[in-house]
Amino acid sequence: ISLLPLLFTVLINFGIMGIAGLPLDAITSIIASLAIGIGVDYAVHYISRYRLELADGHDVVTSLRRAGSTAGRGIIFNALALIIGFLVLVFSHFRAIAVFGYLISTTMIVSCLAALLVIPLVINIIPKRKLERGIRMKRTLAILLALVLVSGVSLSAQELTGQQILDDLGFDTILTGSGTAELTMITENAKGAQREYSVRVYLKSDDGGDQQFLEYLAPADVRGTKFLSLNEAGQVDQMWLYMPALGRERRIAAHMTGDSFMGTDFTYEEIGGGFNYSGDYTAKRLSDQQEGGLDCYVLELTAVSPDALYEEIQMWVWIAEMVPVKVQFYASGGVLAKTLTMDDFRPVSGDLIPHDLVMADNVKGT
């Protein structure tokens, strides 16, 4: 009987994940084992108290009522303490921690209610003799159930497809979100000579699309250069570049979006936010690896759109946060063209944003 509330709790937990669109990853996959570990104590505590009341000569109804007023009260107080403690995590700017806090708090609510409602219901419809015989095996069965469920969750997490991972990425553009930022951009040529630029970026992202305005602040010879990118739903993407030396703006034609942006190793498409991983590529999941000390999914992306900038891409996705930390871009013939690495992730307005990006051209050595 003590297993039934656990099964109920685990099923409700996975149901909530399905409704909320939360994937099985390193964080969410351990919720089931935690639910079992904590919930089994509620069930055993309640049933033990019920058996004591039966041993004192009370009937089933009275024993259930007395168990509910004693053990039930302790279960409620314990659950409330855990719920309040874990709810604090919901306010974290780190997505994985916030999701964990939300799920474990919900699990504690369901586990508490299941112990107090499901067990009395089942006891009332099961003969007492069968109940006492079943109780003697509850701990063994609980351990076996926990092992089976945890193994099942681990297998489910492993079966997450490459396309599902790609579709669930926290972001798929170099510059993302809404707001204003001042950036330092450093270019380095093949001889190691560096040049530093100061750039201000204005971003607006909503259901209608993405808008981006970028302006160079320094050095003096490029000050006032401006770049505008409009990626609006249902419309052709637009990119415009204004250069003070020319005194006019010009539109970046579609065939030029793969060209170098202002002498950097980024393209106009990558800077302008028009790079569409999930739309231009199909994803195959490779063996998981560690990258920079982080556990990562590894994806192999193959171009399916004629507009795709690269023939193939390999991507390392941080499992805990579902954001890419390294991307390798391959040109035709399997030549490694460029490598993008992202580091120093910080929460910004609820999004985890990399503050250190390096794009290296593996062909030019820049």
Q: pLDDT (tens digit, 9 = 90+) per residue, 323-344?
A: 899 999 999 889 999 999 999 9
> Quick one: 135 and 213 in the same domain?
no
pLDDT the model gives residue 170:
60
Residue 93 phi/psi, 5° resolution? -80, -15
**Total number of domains constituting the chain:** 2
Tell me the C-alpha distance between 356 and 205, whole Å. 21
Structure tokens at 90: 């919901």
Who has greater pLDDT, 138 or 124?
124
- For the ranges 24-33, 117-126, 305-314, the maximum mean pLDDT occurs at 305-314
Structure tokens at 355: 């503050």
> Quick one: 94 and 234 in the same domain?
no
Q: Is residue 142 part of a domain?
A: yes
> Quick one: 112 and 225 in the same domain?
no
> Quick one: 202 and 144 in the same domain?
no
pLDDT the model gives residue 275:
64
> Quick one: 309 and 237 in the same domain?
yes
Note down the domain range covering 217: 179-361
Q: Is residue 268 part of a domain?
A: yes
**pLDDT band at residue 26, thresholds of 50, 70 and 90?**
low
Q: How do residues 63-116 score in pLDDT, each as one tens digit?
A: 888 888 888 888 888 888 888 888 888 887 777 778 888 888 888 888 888 888
Looking at the chain, which runs of residues are DSSP E strands? 179-188, 194-206, 209-218, 226-232, 238-243, 248-251, 281-291, 294-303, 312-318, 323-330, 336-348, 351-361
Q: Does the structure show a pLDDT above 70 at 186?
A: yes
> Quick one: 75 and 222 in the same domain?
no
**pLDDT band at residue 184, thresholds of 50, 70 and 90?**
very high
Please tell me what DSSP assigns to residue 136.
Answer: T
Tell me the C-alpha distance between 325 and 316, whole Å. 6
pTM of the model: 0.64
pLDDT the model gives residue 241:
94
